[in-house]
Homo-oligomer: A and B are copies of this chain.
Amino acid sequence: MDEFAFIAGHLSRLAGREGLGLKDDAAVWKPPEGLDAVISMDTLVEGVHFPQGKFDAQIAQKLIAVNISDIIAKGADPLGYFMSLSLPEKIHLDALKEFCSGLEIAQSEYDIKLWGGDTTRTNGPTTLSVTMIGTVPKGEAVLRSGAKIGDFVCVTGNIGGSYLGLKTLLKQIDTNKYPTRYWVDRYHVPQPAFALRAGFRTFANATIDVSDGLLADAEHLARASNVCIDLNLPAIPLSAASTAWVLAQQDQQGARLALATGGDDYQVVMCVSEAQVPSLKKQAARSKVKLTVIGKVVTGAGLICRGRLGETLRVPKPGYKHF
């Protein structure tokens, strides 16, 4: 069976009304009144963002999740996406079927539909690109630039699991000593705090998606807001498995720093006025999203990261990671 016909058949079942059955030149979307559109684009390249030869449901879920992360970080509700698939000849129909089933899982999890895209051949690695469209009540998109002096800095979920998953894939962690499968799953299938997206737009002054690394992204936010973010390294939330890994390292502070700079977390860092923190915490609890206060917004520029005794730490640059 022709691969492109196969993909067209599978993808058309994932299409929303806006996609016109994926049978026209473009999608037509009727933006509802009173809403702004929030739009992001993220690309995953085989051998750079996921392992060589891996093409399955998890990769589809990752492709969607990294884009969902950008959209919800702005407080928006995702609606639909466009996907570009550049596929080498060697891909099997079974892998494509798996990939489409991953899209289906992600579509149902995030309540989105496929609106369009393009499928092409490549002589190189599989290259996947998604443009996602969401909406937010007019004027309520949360930017990086709104942090105010005195705000509390919070983060969703746990940090560092994805980094330990990558280390596992690179064979730098003993798979007999740790629940490495859990970390690898976090690396392959990020879990953005989808349920708390309305909380971000209601309570946060500034937000950023954690993709480069918690410390790097907190610094990006600080610079966009012309403030300084003062973070407490031991407060950064870790899973039980990641805590166990930290405790087993000789340099525990270095280990915590590695997790805080590893990246690929796809959680949200936000700045919230002290008065709003209790309401945000309540909404997070209702949404079953872990929320942790990790620092404060102060005057100055950039980032301060403090250790167990309040001492200022030298922060290493997040490294460029690939296979």
A: residues with CB less than 8 A from B are 20, 23-31, 33, 35-45, 47-49, 69-71, 73-74, 76, 82-84, 86, 115-118, 120-125, 127, 129, 131, 133, 136, 138, 141, 143-145, 207-209, 220, 224, 322
Given contact pairs A48-B121, A86-B127, A41 touches B71 in the complex (Cβ within 8 A): no
Shortest CB-to-CB span from A74 to chain B, Å, is 5
Give which listed residue, B28, B31, B127, contacts A127 with CB less than 8 A.
Answer: B127
> Can you report 16 residue pairs joining A to B where beta carbons are below 8 Å apart?
A24-B144, A24-B224, A25-B40, A26-B141, A28-B74, A29-B39, A30-B37, A41-B117, A41-B118, A41-B131, A43-B86, A43-B118, A43-B129, A49-B120, A127-B127, A129-B129
Query: This chain: how many copies in the complex?
Result: 2
Are A122 and B124 closer than 8 Å at their CB atoms? yes
Shortest CB-to-CB span from A139 to chain B, Å, is 9
Are A122 and B48 closer than 8 Å at their CB atoms? yes
Contacts of A73 in B (CB 8 A): 25-26
Contacts of A136 in B (CB 8 A): 28
Shortest CB-to-CB span from A249 to chain B, Å, is 30
Contacts of A70 in B (CB 8 A): 25-26
Shortest CB-to-CB span from A117 to chain B, Å, is 5
Shortest CB-to-CB span from A121 to chain B, Å, is 5
Chain B's closest residue to A118 (CB) is: B43
Give which listed residue, B48, B121, B131, contacts A45 with CB less than 8 A.
Answer: B121
Contacts of A43 in B (CB 8 A): 84, 86, 118, 120, 129
Given contact pairs A36-B29, A120-B43, A129-B43, A24 touches B143 in the complex (Cβ within 8 A): yes
Are B40 and A141 closer than 8 Å at their CB atoms? no
Are A45 and B122 closer than 8 Å at their CB atoms? yes
Give which listed residue, B25, B30, B74, B116, contacts A25 with CB less than 8 A.
Answer: B74
Question: Would you list the 4 A-B pairs with minimal beta carbon distance, nearest first?
Answer: A124-B124, A31-B31, A131-B131, A26-B40
Contacts of A27 in B (CB 8 A): 38-40
Shortest CB-to-CB span from A77 to chain B, Å, is 13
Are B48 and A123 closer than 8 Å at their CB atoms? yes
Complexed CA–CA distance, A117 and B39 (Å): 9
Shortest CB-to-CB span from A235 to chain B, Å, is 23
Contacts of A76 in B (CB 8 A): 26
Contacts of A28 in B (CB 8 A): 36-39, 74, 136, 141, 143
Q: Which of A24, A38, A84, A123 has the most CB of B within 10 A?
A: A24
Chain B's closest residue to A323 (CB) is: B123
Are A33 and B33 closer than 8 Å at their CB atoms? yes
Shortest CB-to-CB span from A11 to chain B, Å, is 13
